[in-house]
Amino acid sequence: MTLDDLRNLDPKKIGSWPVLPKIGALLLVLLLILGASYWFDWQHQIEQIESEKQKEQKLRTEFLDKKKQAVALPDYLKQNEDIEKQFGALLKQLPGKSEMDALLTDINQAGLGRGLQFELFKPAMQETKADFYAELPITIKVSGNYHDIGAFASDIGKLSRIVTLNNIALESTKDNVLILDATAKTFRYLDDDEVAQKRKTAVKGKPAAKKK
């Protein structure tokens, strides 16, 4: 069939066309229908399917993560229990408000017991308060020989309550006497009333939220 024969085909009389042109016309119509279906309908359905697949994968990942967390939950609870026990043990090393005077006396006696001379022992006028504890720095200045000052520092570390020596400076005199300048920091836990008052103060100090 030549090109001229195709040109001479009457579109109004498709039924009288030869077989090959009929098949070609049917294929063309089929392709047009498929193209229109894809453009107006199938394309959106495919995009929706892909979106749902992504959601499914995300949900599957979240499920696996939560499953792992659920399996590990007993271990987390055990770790939390251990941490609370350790925290409680550390907290017991902090004196309460009523025990601070005794602790200051212990620090002073640790120096006197080693034969040191206190030239200065001055607790700060105010404590520095944190979440659950208060810190009290004490400026100290003692003099003595090297061995006694070293033993004094060791005795401070062995106290039943937590005391740290900070900002340490040593100076030697002409008589080979060492002078120790340091800041001893002691800590105590805040009682329930102090914690409640601190939280109340913190809430009052927060800026009010702006109304929309």
152-203 confidence digits (pLDDT tens): 999 988 887 788 899 999 998 888 889 999 998 888 777 777 767 766 766 6
> What value does the mean pLDDT take over residues 45-66?
83
pLDDT of residue 142: 92
pTM for this prediction: 0.49
pLDDT of residue 1: 55
> What value does the mean pLDDT take over residues 12-17?
62
Helices 100-113 and 146-157 meet at what angle, rounded to 10? Answer: 150
pLDDT of residue 212: 47
Structure tokens of 111?
Answer: 């120096």
CA distance 118 to 17: 123
pLDDT of residue 179: 92
pLDDT of residue 22: 67
113-135 confidence digits (pLDDT tens): 999 999 999 888 888 877 777 88
- 3-class DSSP assignment, residue 17: coil
58-109 confidence digits (pLDDT tens): 888 888 888 888 888 888 778 877 776 776 666 666 666 667 788 888 888 9
Closest CA to 123 of 135, 133, 111, 110: 135
CA distance 80 to 71: 16
Cα→Cα distances 63→57, 144, 176, Å: 10, 68, 72
> What value does the mean pLDDT take over residues 132-142?
86
Name the least confident of 15-24, 111-120, 143-152, 201-210: 201-210
**Those residues with Cβ within 8 angstroms of residue 197's Cβ, 6 or more apart along the chain or in another chain:** none
Q: Do the Cβ atoms of 22 and 10 come closer than 8 Å?
A: no
Structure tokens of 35?
Answer: 């193209």
Bridge partners, 157 (sequence order): none
**pLDDT range class, residue 139, cuts 50, 70, 90:** very high
